[in-house]
Structure 1
Amino acid sequence: MTELYSRRSFLAGVLTAGMLSASASYLLTRREEVTLTLVTGGDRTGGRRLLVQMWNDLNPYVKIEPIEVNSSTRDQYEKFISSHADTFNLDVIHIPKFAAEKRIVPITPRNDISLLAPVRRLNVREGSDDFWAVPFNTDVGVLYRRVTDKAEAGPDPTLAQVMTTSSRSFVGQLDTVGSQTDEAFVVNVLEQALAQDEAILDESGQLSFSLGQWRSALEPLAAAIRGRRVGAEAGEDDTNRTFQRNSLRYMRNWPVYFPAIDRAERTKPATDEIRLGRVPIGIIGGQSLAVSAESDHQDEAVEAIHFLTDAHAQLLLAKHGFAPTGLDAYIDPVVTETLPHLKVIRNGVESSRPRPMHRDYAAFAESFAGHTHRFLYDGEQLTQQFIQDIQGHLR
């Protein structure tokens, strides 16, 4: 364990030095002091804050001042629009609404970074080479597996197999207690449905509106919950705690938690390692940087965004547990040797599906969560009203 994490510390030093060297071209020549306000969600890893600090050290006359909104993804829209900002770090589900309301302006990517196709599709401006926002980090659901014998061979189990065979050895975000946890619940239910029927949600985020298809896709999950074969938590943090405290074998969560969980679990005598596997069709997430239409410093905001999202920035974010947006980080020899689990993450991102990318996504998600939670926990059958409601929000 010591050797593994000493190599990761070495990697951090190498990447930091590389960023400082490569970022010299971003230095601005102006001498009029400007403060760029960046409104963003919380940063539990410190990786984003480190990048911002690097920019500020290199650009003393154009500094970024982050305003962190430590709230749920669902709440961020209201908090973001009430804040004066030059740059927004948007969750991908908010991009269509910000664009439709003309709160952000298009941006032309300049970075020489090969974005993974699903990441690009979430950010591109339809019918243009411009983006509404530049990908900062991506994300995808993954299956954590506790391994007690490193010699254990064989293919990774699928999510459908785990849900069928596990006896309370799996935990995921399969419950909700309100708006703070609704989004995690929606994502997990969509992944469970995809594990049974890949046609329930396509590569462009189009949902099936077949009632029979939804009933069939969600019945195995309902049976597992009724039979108490799985652990259902509300939110990612509670899921992590249950997985660790009860030494469960499987967990569905995001890859950003992997470094901390891997480090902690390796101290347990009965745990040899924690492995990541594909879901196999996960829901893609992530955050992207966009320029506010109300900013008085749009040119400076664009320069900062290019710095924060370039190839070296992606390498540094990968070290902190974030899923990189582009091919560069996944094939970098130093990174792949030090962080071999990135191969699983790349495969997961490339086979992922997006949530419905619609300006009224929030209304859809609230309705979807309500109907499916009552189906899973109260025995209320899905009816044509479920289809009418979710279809109505996505017109």
Structure 2
Amino acid sequence: MRAGYFRRHRTAMLAGLVFGIAAVLVPLAPWNDSAGRTPCPGHTGIVVAAGTDVSAGAERQALINTWNSQHQDDPDLQARIVEISSVADLQRSQLAAVSEAYGCDYDVLMLDAPWTAEFAARKAIVPFPLPHGWDGDFLRELRQSVTWHGTVYALPFNADVGLLYYWNDARRQAPVGLPDLLGQAAEAVTAHGFPAGYALQLADYEGGAVNALELIWGFGGDVVRDDRVVIDAYATQVRSALAAVHANLPPQVAGIDRTSGDATEEYSIQAFEARQVAFMRNWPYAFRTLAADPRMRAGGRLRFGVSPLPGPSVLGGQNLAISAYSRKQEQARRLVEFLTDQKAESQLFDCGGFAPTRESAYEAPRPCTDSPPGEQPIGQADLTQLAVQIRQAIARARPRPMTPAYQEFSEVFRRCFRAAAFQPGEVDVDYAAFARLLRAAYSGRPVHTDPDRPCG
């Protein structure tokens, strides 16, 4: 499985490099409008720009295949996915570069939840036509992520929320709060022989920002509230979160996996499968990856469990928006509605492991009848239990800060958090300076920091 992973992501990295170069060159491409720019070339069919599909059965492509078979007599409705990068930060940069160049290369943009505000504010996407109004079957928690200044700009394709994965023999009881989880993780090292207790993803990428937010929330702190940066008002709680990271990293104890500072989701999954960690924070798609592995079963029963995090998780997901520069906006609308209808959302969950965006998909999940060869099928009971855990986690989750300058905010936030969390010894953070930097980034103002003191 690891070899397959590296083959898959080697392709994704090469694709990311190609499209990264293209994103740099696109601003040189001409455009035709009232300013006298010349037209960019058109393309046949509908093009969806997206990140790498992490589902076990490539279910996004399976949905596209179904759509194409239903419209095989109309070349203008044939759709294809262009996977631009496996890294969220690079996806956003490449999509932004194409949009800034008024590029008509893509018709549908798959946007990470916090990017919708940015692309709406820069008018790179159009308000989504809702001829019949907002569909009440969509999860109510997701509407904020597709709305900017009261207008819906996208439809939610898949939700995402942090879940706690644990080896059954490692968990003493359902943890009550994050400190209790870290305590049980440390116990698992000494009592059950795990090399490390808890796998986080705190590398310098968007997943690192998500994990850092959840750590701060788990200790009662906050970073942004009611459109205001408040991290300085919660300095005590943030300091507790940072102290917990310090106290649980080797050589003190191994409550937190020593590699968490460089880990991404896939790395943590591999460590969990290899029984290198007792607990793991990860997204819902990890369940299908783990459950499909025969090593993760004993007598037909799963050797691991899953539950909501013992504290708020970040509410994530991907939204489908129509590019403002698409020549095929009506066709794009029809495709987006197909990809987010009830049947599609059920398929994304049942066969792909994605968290669906519709209530109906949680109510009656059915085991996938088309599992890839060699994959262990997931039974009805496990699938139903997973649906319950995801829905509970979403109900407790919180969105990331909503600002058109979210990317800049995220970069400043995680840079400061990582500097404080992983430098040797306890770091004395200047929380007033930290807050000033975050306020500047949140509002889109330039941020200049000293590399030796990234938090002020």
TM-score by length of 2: 0.72
Residue matched to 1:184: 207
- Secondary structure of the residue that 1:381 maps to in structure 2? coil
CA deviation map 1:241-270 (0-9, x unaligned): 111213532100111111111232434689
- Report the more deviating stretch, 356-365 or 300-309: 356-365
Q: For 2:388 and 2:300, how far apart are their aligned partners in 1?
A: 26
Residue matched to 1:161: 180
Q: For 2:325 and 2:287, how far apart are their aligned partners in 1?
A: 37
Q: For 2:305 and 2:442, how far apart are their aligned partners in 1?
A: 37
Q: CA deviation at 1:389?
A: 0.6
Residue matched to 1:52: 64
Q: CA deviation at 1:161?
A: 1.1
The 8 Å contact of residues 120 and 148 in structure 2, kept in 1 or not, is answered as: no
Residue matched to 1:394: 442
CA deviation map 1:256-302 (0-9, x unaligned): 11111123243468985221111131111110100000111111110
Q: For 1:37 and 1:75, how far apart are their aligned partners in 2?
A: 19
* 326 and 108 in structure 1: CA distance in 2 versus 1, 3 angstrom threshold: same
Residue matched to 2:239: 215
Q: CA deviation at 1:77?
A: 1.7
The 8 Å contact of residues 372 and 382 in structure 1, kept in 2 or not, is answered as: no
Q: For 1:205 and 1:273, how far apart are their aligned partners in 2?
A: 43
The 8 Å contact of residues 278 and 344 in structure 1, kept in 2 or not, is answered as: yes
Q: Give the partner amino acid of 1:277.
A: S
- Secondary structure of the residue that 2:292 maps to in structure 1? helix
The 8 Å contact of residues 225 and 376 in structure 1, kept in 2 or not, is answered as: no
Q: CA deviation at 1:199?
A: 4.9
Residue matched to 1:285: 316
Q: Does residue 72 in structure 1 map to residue 87 in structure 2?
A: yes
Residue matched to 2:255: 229
Residue number among 428, 431, 434 corresponding to 1:381 in the alignment:
428
The 8 Å contact of residues 194 and 201 in structure 1, kept in 2 or not, is answered as: no
Q: Give the partner amino acid of 1:371.
A: C
Residue matched to 2:411: 366
RMSD between aligned alpha carbons?
2.5
Q: For 2:256 and 2:240, how far apart are their aligned partners in 1?
A: 19
- Report the more deviating stretch, 68-77 or 320-329: 68-77
- Secondary structure of the residue that 1:249 maps to in structure 2? strand
Q: For 2:414 and 2:327, how far apart are their aligned partners in 1?
A: 39
Structure 2: 5+ residue runs without aligned partners? 1-42, 187-195, 368-379, 444-456
- Secondary structure of the residue that 1:44 maps to in structure 2? coil
Q: For 1:253 and 1:365, how far apart are their aligned partners in 2?
A: 19
The 8 Å contact of residues 108 and 323 in structure 2, kept in 1 or not, is answered as: yes
Structure whose CA Rg is larger? 2
Residue number among 284, 290, 298 corresponding to 1:261 in the alignment:
290
Structure 1: 5+ residue runs without aligned partners? 1-32
Q: CA deviation at 1:136?
A: 0.2
TM-score by length of 1: 0.82
Q: CA deviation at 1:113?
A: 4.9
Q: CA deviation at 1:198?
A: 5.7
* 87 and 267 in structure 1: CA distance in 2 versus 1, 3 angstrom threshold: same
Residue matched to 2:111: 90
Q: For 2:52 and 2:299, how far apart are their aligned partners in 1?
A: 33
Residue number among 398, 420, 423 corresponding to 1:353 in the alignment:
398
CA deviation map 1:176-217 (0-9, x unaligned): 2xxxx4211111111111111065555x67652323442234
Q: CA deviation at 1:79?
A: 1.5
Residue number among 317, 324, 328 corresponding to 1:297 in the alignment:
328
Q: For 1:282 and 1:263, how far apart are their aligned partners in 2?
A: 25
The alignment of Structure 1 onto Structure 2 pairs a total of residues equal to: 353
Q: CA deviation at 1:330?
A: 1.1
Q: For 2:329 and 2:285, how far apart are their aligned partners in 1?
A: 30
Residue matched to 1:329: 361
- Secondary structure of the residue that 1:341 maps to in structure 2? helix
Residue matched to 2:200: 172
The 8 Å contact of residues 346 and 365 in structure 2, kept in 1 or not, is answered as: no
The 8 Å contact of residues 117 and 148 in structure 2, kept in 1 or not, is answered as: no
Q: For 1:372 and 1:315, how far apart are their aligned partners in 2?
A: 38
RCO comparison, higher one (Cα < 8 Å, 6+): 1
Residue matched to 1:105: 126
CA deviation map 1:313-356 (0-9, x unaligned): 11000011000112111112647754321101001111101111
Q: Give the partner amino acid of 1:230.
A: I
Q: For 2:185 and 2:276, how far apart are their aligned partners in 1?
A: 14
Q: For 2:384 and 2:347, how far apart are their aligned partners in 1?
A: 12
Q: Does residue 344 in structure 1 map to residue 368 in structure 2?
A: no
Residue matched to 1:315: 346
The 8 Å contact of residues 137 and 322 in structure 1, kept in 2 or not, is answered as: yes
Residue matched to 1:12: none
The 8 Å contact of residues 86 and 296 in structure 1, kept in 2 or not, is answered as: yes
The 8 Å contact of residues 170 and 251 in structure 1, kept in 2 or not, is answered as: yes
CA deviation map 1:117-141 (0-9, x unaligned): 221111123334xx11100001001
